[in-house]
Structure 1
Amino acid sequence: MKLQALALSLLAATGLATPVRRDVGQAVYTLRLSSRVATLDGVYLTTSANGSTLGVYPTPAAERLHVYPVKNPTTGLAELRTQGAGNTLAVVGKHGLLDFASLEDPAAVPVPEGGKCDWTSFRLDDEEQGGVLRYAGEGAQNGGGWAAFPDVTAEGGWSVKWKGGCLLTELRGGNIAKAFTTEEYMPVQVVYERVKDE
């Protein structure tokens, strides 16, 4: 019985992580930041030198991230797949502070106790100023939002993270604030834009 359960769970994990081929007519989007800080506003997201963390990095060769949404049958929300690389975007971490990452196989990521790796719960909302990407997974109903943190591994770089609602209530007027995370951060929005001629 245990062997059957193990085989079934391995098969299910493989099925969840299998890349979904993009329909040629399907929309492809880039992701950029919207912020009150001029150096972050309008800057497109790329991956860090390690190839998985999403943010704003001063590498001249960094290419804009291109993603397309795939509806997850379980959550009814969107998974975001990268065009070309075959990766999936996910939030990974614990204690209400989750890294925004591009992962080859999120189902295979080892998650520590109390942590999460969620790639099935994104929402693409249309708003007056354009499309806004939101994380809508477990715990997001209590509020929260995207924040940019200075990346100590890339001078001048900012990594993007999802902060749970209780962590963001301390922000006032878009100023850099300090929370119990002991780092300075800036609230941002992640905006999606349709790529032309894809």
Structure 2
Amino acid sequence: MIKNNKHRCTFFFTMTMLFIFSGCGSSNDEAASSSDPEAIRESQISELESSDLIGNVEAYAVIQGLLAEGQAPIPAKIFIIENDESVEEGAREKYVYSPHYLDLPEELQAKSDSEMNVLVKLRRYYMETGTYSNEGIAYTRYVQITIMDRAAGTIIHEETMIGSAPFSISEDQSAGYGYVPEYQVLEKILAYFGYAEE
């Protein structure tokens, strides 16, 4: 009888310890994944794709408004779209959601169509700005930022960012491009909403 009790106690002790350690392990895994930038990004994308914001991108793209520079509504709940540059030249312009939306502070991100009161439209394009000695063409990047108060139906801010001078090219290249760094586009948007660069 005493032997049975000893075995039983040993068994329960072992199982209890396994349970505790396996529980700790899973919470550590959860903590690790919650601090993993890629896991966080994937979670944000999944949440976005299950919202009604994605389904309304085409409707957002055609929204127009009168220019009336002013302050954003408070609190501002933002969604960002941008033109799809994979669309062939001459075809009707198409818009998609912008990855910059995922880089906004949590408190600025609209989570649904009904919550979104500020629409940011980014339009990116290149313009020919010169030629090279080998007759190659120099292009400069432009990014037009349009910020709209959805409820008021007005454009509350609009500006165009101009890229760097086109880079030099080799003799066998036919074109060179100047760029607007993506981080600068995000900084411009955040600055309008009062998020100064640290």
TM-score normalised by length of structure 2: 0.28
Higher strand fraction: Structure 1 or Structure 2?
Answer: 1
Higher helix fraction: Structure 1 or Structure 2?
Answer: 2
Structure with greater contact order relative to length (CA < 8 Å, sep ≥ 6): 1
